[in-house]
């Protein structure tokens, strides 16, 4: 079992603040790193899938970076809005396996 | 809109009962999955299927069975439910089979409580 660790476990920010959180994973036999956004009472939705060391992806105010050599990914949210409140899940696959190993998530609350 | 649906959305049952959770998808994806979410834990894979005749165990398959009745349908059964199977269950599909960029598309979840 590959351990995917996310920090912090939860985070409260004010509207307009920028924030970031971390996903750490074993760097050996890396294949892909996923970020999902999970709003309460809804389905988790894919934000990014990254495969290459140094990858950076962006969707609106949300961006992510990947360092496969040291085994971490950062998710950044610029100018947080209340609608950004959700749990952000990180997940990793190794060596072409179908098994996506998820972290426990970071729960973000953006206060108006 | 193409979607992944799950029924029921909520279920309360008693220890020892047989329960079936159903999943349907209109995305046309071959690959389907069942995951379980428990508080304080990451999503964990129960079973997955690459096509109608393919069933594979995930990391926590004990106490569960699945059936892939058609490309669009993948059901999860608890033959004799026990309280520690109380959890939120997600069905998912994936696109781009065999590629690193494949993503999961999740259903809305079924909240199961076993008393």
In Å, how far are B35, B73, B99 from A3, measured between CA atoms?
17, 31, 22
In the sheet with B4-7, reading across from the earlier edge strand, the strands are B4-7, B19-25, B73-78, B65-70
Chain A positions contacting chain B at CB under 8 Å are: 1, 4, 31-32, 34, 36, 42-46, 49, 51, 89, 91, 93, 96, 98-105
Q: Given the DSSP bridges, would you call strands A19-24 and B110-114 parallel, antiparallel or unpaired?
A: unpaired
Phi, psi of A82 (to 5 degrees): -55, -35
CB contact under 8 A, A34 and B59: no
CA distance B106 to B29: 12
> For the segment A40-83, what is each residue's pLDDT rounded down to a tens digit?
889 999 999 999 999 999 999 999 999 999 999 999 999 999 99
Q: From the centroid of its chain, how far is CA A5?
A: 10
> Whole-angstrom Cα distance, residue A94 to residue B13?
37
> How many Cβ atoms from other residues are within 10 Å of residue B41's Cβ?
13
Torsion of CA B83, B84, B88, B90, to 10 degrees: -120
pLDDT at B108: 94
- Closest partner CB to B42 (pick from A42, A99, A102): A102
The yes-or-no verdict on residue A87 having pLDDT over 80 is: yes
Confidence at residue A96, expressed as pLDDT on a 0 to 100 scale: 63
- What confidence tens digit (pLDDT) does each residue in A15-32 have? 999 999 999 999 888 889
A1 has a pLDDT exceeding 50: no
Record: contact B45-A99, CB cut-off 8 A: yes
pLDDT in single tens digits along all 115 residues of chain B = 559 999 999 999 999 999 999 999 999 999 999 999 998 898 999 999 999 989 999 999 999 999 998 999 999 999 999 999 999 999 999 987 777 778 999 999 999 999 9
A104 vs B61: CA distance, rounded Å: 20
């Amino acid at each position: 079992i590959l351990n995917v660790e996310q920090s912090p476990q939860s985070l409260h920010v004010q509207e307009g603040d920028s924030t970031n959180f971390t996903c750490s994973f074993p760097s050996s036999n890396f294949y892909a790193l996923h970020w999902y956004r999970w709003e309460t009472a809804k389905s988790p939705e894919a934000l990014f899938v990254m495969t290459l060391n140094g990858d950076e992806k962006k969707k609106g105010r949300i961006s992510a970076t990947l360092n496969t050599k040291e085994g971490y990914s950062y998710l950044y949210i610029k100018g947080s809005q209340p609608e950004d409140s959700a749990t952000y899940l990180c997940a990793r696959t190794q060596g072409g396996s179908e098994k996506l190993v998820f972290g426990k998530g970071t729960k973000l609350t953006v206060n108006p | 809109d193409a979607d992944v649906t799950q029924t029921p959305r909520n279920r309360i049952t008693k220890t020892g009962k047989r329960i079936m959770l159903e999943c349907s998808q209109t995305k046309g994806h071959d690959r389907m999955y069942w995951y379980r979410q428990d508080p304080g834990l990451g999503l964990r894979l129960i079973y997955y299927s690459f096509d109608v005749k393919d069933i594979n165990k995930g990391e926590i398959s004990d106490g569960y069975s699945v059936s892939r009745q058609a490309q669009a349908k993948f059901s999860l059964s608890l033959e004799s439910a026990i309280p520690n199977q109380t959890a939120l269950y997600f069905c998912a599909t994936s696109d781009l089979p065999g590629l690193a960029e494949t993503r999961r598309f999740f259903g809305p979840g079924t909240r199961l409580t076993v008393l």
